Structure 1
């Protein structure tokens, strides 16, 4: 049997770095509680070093004793870790830039410095008995041999997991596999991919990482996150179940309401065509598709909408056919002759095109009055 994949949610940390997003404790509590009850494997809940309010908020989340591991994000700075220790979280993430671009042009540090501070911070966290996730920032632009050296030293130091970050979202699925295969082959630590979505490939990259042998992936609800966001929890979780057929603890039936909750809290509307959670993703208008669905639902169903608490819907638009319109009229007890139904269908198609949106029964039935 294939190993279970870990979904490590960072909505409350990386998600909060999205422009204009900021969570109160009450909002963090609601989101964290819902994610934990749905079976998320880990919650990255914030950055204690950001200030006293953040530290206190995380401490309160720890006090909820949620049925999942809570972790924090920290720079490779002892002071950051000391702040995290005060919260009582079980896990700490230690993030270190590893590309020469970041080392030379952001920190003005050397590769030797990376090894030194990694050892210092990991040793400090081990003394506190913490689960340690070593985050390698900008791993997508780092020298692979250097990544391998870091990974081997991390294993020696007793790190629990290594997170490889595609910080700029520049990887494609094939490069994910090729770039990180040496680590998978030579390091006996679970690997996690932290994929950003700048080029729209975060979900594909996360799935490729799992296919390649990664144990974990970072996700956020709705893909919330810095710039273009992160790999969306809903997309990754559904792909795990229905494409990879891999076991995961997360209950996808709670996904729709969870995404709606985060949408309301952040005041960010879910795009209509957003995979899994968009309003239109299970709505059919084309007569060709509807005919196929009537014959066999799997003709045009990639996965059952009921699994995420949704259902198939019919809407009327430019490509609607006579069968759907006749069925609607019959259900409403309306009798029109063939010419009238054809004229009504033309009006429906025209109105849908004018409104730039599909029509519901409530839009169509008033149009019937002109024929009666």
Structure 2
């Protein structure tokens, strides 16, 4: 296996006269290509891994504007989810409207250690004035790094863009404020001709000011690829490895920000962790530009799997957050979305229901009731059979051990005959819980009585 080793080459800015748009990889009239160089880099998992949040920045800009009350409530939820574990480390705010500034001020006044309130600005001095006025300790700054952005959006050369970024970076550091550099569109950028020289200079400024400078690698169009042996600019592995070994950025100052345009956002974020980025940037429910950002709740579960624990996070809050977005924000969460969808742990297949009737571990990967406060659900339709109906009764009424209803129970058969008759008569919809409740109340009153006793 070939490994990319740390190079002693002094990478200089390649101030090209015309943009390098990698048209062999990104032909606009075709689907993007994945180029392999078959060079492999080693994993280097950081000792500490963190989740950061962009719900109030990238998330909010793709939704109807949040009210101040909604922002503050969601911030409280994030704090409750983190539960003083320090894993959900930071969240970032826009500062452009009076509403956002007041919401940020209120969140700061909460006095929570986690998540820390940070800001996001463009690379200009007028935006930076807002940061100083607010007294925020850390700000993110947009630093577009692909030639698509430098030449086509900013209408600059690479040298002009780099000079602009470094100029405002000096001002931020001279003010004693921590800087987080958002390298926009890094998966279409000239990594060695622009990214490495820019980041190397930023690290020099960091050492001179004795203030940490963070680097956020932004996969703006979701073009990152997690596989080994892929060439830059699309290799997540090599981007993180290169920032660490060539540019000298410590793992605890590297962050990954991804989008889901090609369904790879969770894999790419986990890969960034595995190859040395300490932080991955996320948004609640994955809400963000176009197909969205990496879902915060997904990375909570990735963290748990990689670390073998949840670090004291309170995962029941994930369910509360989903309900809040659904009811208060009127956000339509697809019902089968992992962890947060209303039906994510619902089974409809009769054979699956039969398995759950024997032991719910057969078709449920973990105790969703204990961990998320979401007990398994068995839906009843024309394919459920006796097992499906018995499983619905047991899960809906939370019957355990000897209290469980068997699929051979004659009363279950009566419900099954009623269900069959519904579909013979032309019904096409699921059998509702309210309908089944009436049948159980009539045929199995003792089950309803026990439920009411537990509730009281």
TM value normalised by structure 1: 0.86
Structure 1 SS opposite 2:365? coil
**Does residue 292 of the first structure (1) align with residue 345 of the second (2)?**
no
Unaligned 5+ runs, structure 2: 1-44, 83-87, 207-211, 228-234, 395-403, 443-456
Relative distance call for 1:199 and 1:348 in structure 2 (3 A) is farther
Alignment of 1:1-372 (within 5 A): 3-19=47-63, 21-39=64-82, 40-46=88-94, 48=95, 50-68=96-114, 69-145=116-192, 146-158=194-206, 159-174=212-227, 175-186=235-246, 187-189=248-250, 190-242=253-305, 245=308, 250-305=313-368, 306-325=370-389, 328=393, 336=410, 343-344=417-418, 346-347=420-421, 354-355=428-429, 357=430, 359-360=432-433, 362-363=435-436, 365=438
Q: CA deviation at 1:183?
A: 2.0
Q: Distance in 2 between matches of 1:243 and 1:192?
A: 17
Q: CA deviation at 1:80?
A: 0.9
Unaligned 5+ runs, structure 1: none
Relative distance call for 1:249 and 1:96 in structure 2 (3 A) is farther
Q: CA deviation at 1:337?
A: 8.2
TM value normalised by structure 2: 0.72
Contact persistence 1:4–1:247 (CA under 8 A): no
Contact persistence 2:137–2:177 (CA under 8 A): yes
Relative distance call for 1:319 and 1:83 in structure 2 (3 A) is same
Q: How many residues align?
A: 365
Structure 2 SS opposite 1:140? helix
Larger helix percent: 1
What root-mean-square deviation, in Å, do the aligned CA atoms of Structure 1 and Structure 2 show? 3.1
Structure with the greater alpha carbon radius of gyration: 2
Q: CA deviation at 1:119?
A: 2.0
| Cα-to-partner distance string for 1:224-257 (whole Å, 9 max, x where unaligned) | 1122211111111112213563665643231110
Which piece of structure 1 moves more, 56-65 or 94-103?
56-65
Contact persistence 1:29–1:61 (CA under 8 A): yes
